[in-house]
Amino acid sequence: MKAKYITIIDIARQLNISKSTVSRALTGHPNVKEHTRKAVMELASSMEYQRNSLALGFSKHNTNTIGIMVPEFMSTYFPSVIVGVQDVMQAAGYNVVICQQNESYESEVSNMKLLLSYRVDGIIVSHTKETRNFDHFTLAQRRGVPLVFFNRVPEDMNVPNVIVNDYEAAFQAVEHLIRIGRRRIAHLAGPESLVNTRLRRQGYLDALKKHGIAHNPDLMLSYDLTTEKVKIYMKHFLELDTPPDALFAINDPTAIAAMEVVKAKGLRIPEDIAIVGFSNDFSAGLVHPGLTTVAQPTSEIGRTAAEMLLQEMRAKVKNDYTIKKAPTVQLSTRLIIRESTVPEEKSKKMVKSK
């Protein structure tokens, strides 16, 4: 059941001219008689000629296609970054191929090889939570395929990337909790493999320190981002002799899952325990009470990463990041205060005073 496509040879035969002429007419080469060009164009369109990008990329050594690799599709974060990437890339005449890894390292390696085997011109990446070995990324670099990372950036690689101010954002979020009078602030951190985890945790620790609150190791746990674990750990927190009066969660899904546990226990949010998330997922504004969280400029992250990649791809001489510092763009976040930390009336006042 082979597909059947029209080629420039078919067109050439019908018109009794050479395929070179057809090729020239189709690509807008100046040296083609107007009459001939018109005939070619008309026949091509009536035969629904569809150019073969494989053949083209094959001989030209570039495909006008970039890949984007994201770890998951379950929150709205990555899809909206992708929309930003597509905006810019489409305008620049590039096609975007999306690969989604389901947080699996294996998928990531095989998808990377897939993209390389299809000779994409560049790749935008956020790695999985399982990724500890980065050989598949350096392989791309060695092959001269530009990479731009965002959100989850490997610490040991010198590579262009787009990030947000995770440390400050976490610091501010925790400071917000302290300002509203909380002292026993728990932190559900992410996996050690993610640089975000470490930055946000440091922000958490330093905010406590600044305000003279001793860090209680019992109130901090790293976990693997699965819902089941949140439930276990959150229950554990709540059953401590002196349970926390606030929670800073690594991301919104974590915060939302934690809220479920709190509500199931019959505790009140924010009165008994205030909760802050991270990223301002679509659902953060929908849960009850609304989730205080750190908003990330998702579509701008995507657009910025795309623009950085375009620069890399357009560079006449490949940037050698073994000898040169790779560019980093840090975008700003914004703390969104909702009812999970400040009850209704109060929160309205705070927004106004902003």
Partner DNA sequence: CTGTTAGCGCGTTCAT
Partner DNA sequence: ATGAACGCGCTAACAG
Tally the C-alpha atoms within 13 A of residue 46's C-alpha that lie toward its C-beta.
8
Give the per-residue contact string, 294-313, with its own copies (x = CB under 8 A; - = no). Answer: -------------------x
Smaller CB distance to its own copies: residue 11 or 195? Answer: 11
- CA distances to 22, 110, 139, 257 from 229, in Å: 62, 28, 34, 10
Give the count of residues interacting with its own copies (CB under 8 A).
60
Shortest Cβ distance from residue 232 to DNA (Å)? 49
Q: Of DNA, its own copies, none, which one does residue 20 interact with (CB within 5 to 8 Å by kind)?
A: DNA
Residues 124 to 153: which contact its own copies by CB under 8 A? 139, 142-146
Q: Residue length, the chain?
A: 354
Residues 190 to 229: which contact its own copies by CB under 8 A? none
Q: Of DNA, its own copies, none, which one does residue 133 interact with (CB within 5 to 8 Å by kind)?
A: none
Give the count of residues interacting with DNA (CB under 7 A).
30
Question: Segment near its own copies (CB under 8 A), from 191-199, 237-245, 270-278, 282-290?
Answer: 282-290
Instruction: Supply the DSSP string of 174-199, one letter for each residue.
Output: HHHHHHTT--SEEEEE--TT-HHHHH
The token pair at 26 is 């189709």
Residues 40 to 79: which contact its own copies by CB under 8 A? 48, 50-55, 57-58, 61-63, 65, 73-74, 76, 79
- Do strands 220-222 and 185-189 pair parallel, antiparallel, or not at all (unpaired)? parallel
Shortest Cβ distance from residue 298 to its own copies (Å)? 11
Contact between residue 169 and residue 335 where contact means Cβ atoms under 8 Å apart: yes
Distance CA 36, CA 178 (A): 76
Contact between residue 312 and residue 160 where contact means Cβ atoms under 8 Å apart: yes
Q: Of DNA, its own copies, none, which one does residue 282 interact with (CB within 5 to 8 Å by kind)?
A: its own copies
- Do strands 161-164 and 122-125 pair parallel, antiparallel, or not at all (unpaired)? unpaired
Instruction: Supply the DSSP string of 123-172, one letter for each residue.
Output: EEE---TT----HHHHHHHHTT--EEEESS--TT----EEEE-HHHHHHH
Burial of 214 (C-beta count, 10 Å sphere; 0-12/13-18/19+) = exposed
Shortest Cβ distance from residue 34 to DNA (Å)? 7
Q: Of DNA, its own copies, none, which one does residue 295 interact with (CB within 5 to 8 Å by kind)?
A: none
Instruction: Supply the DSSP string of 42-101, one letter for each residue.
Output: HHHHHTT----HHHHHHHHS--SEEEEEES-SSSSHHHHHHHHHHHHHHHTT-EEEEEE-
Q: Of its own copies, DNA, none, which one does residue 313 interact with (CB within 5 to 8 Å by kind)?
A: its own copies
Residues 5 to 64: which contact DNA by CB under 7 A? 5, 7-9, 16-21, 23-24, 26-27, 30-36, 49, 51-52, 55-56, 58-61
Smaller CB distance to its own copies: residue 83 or 264? Answer: 83
Distance CA 114, CA 117 (A): 5
Q: Which residues pair with 69 in a beta bridge?
A: 99, 125
Handedness of CA 26, 28, 32, 35 (dihedral sign): positive
Shortest Cβ distance from residue 45 to its own copies (Å)? 12
Smaller CB distance to DNA: residue 7 or 226? Answer: 7
Shortest Cβ distance from residue 90 to DNA (Å)? 20
List residues near its own copies by CB under 8 A: 1-5, 48, 50-55, 57-58, 61-63, 65, 73-74, 76, 79-80, 82-83, 86, 90, 95, 97-100, 102, 107, 113-114, 116-119, 121, 139, 142-146, 256, 282-283, 286-289, 313-318
What is the contact surface with DNA in residues (CB under 7 A)? 5, 7-9, 16-21, 23-24, 26-27, 30-36, 49, 51-52, 55-56, 58-61
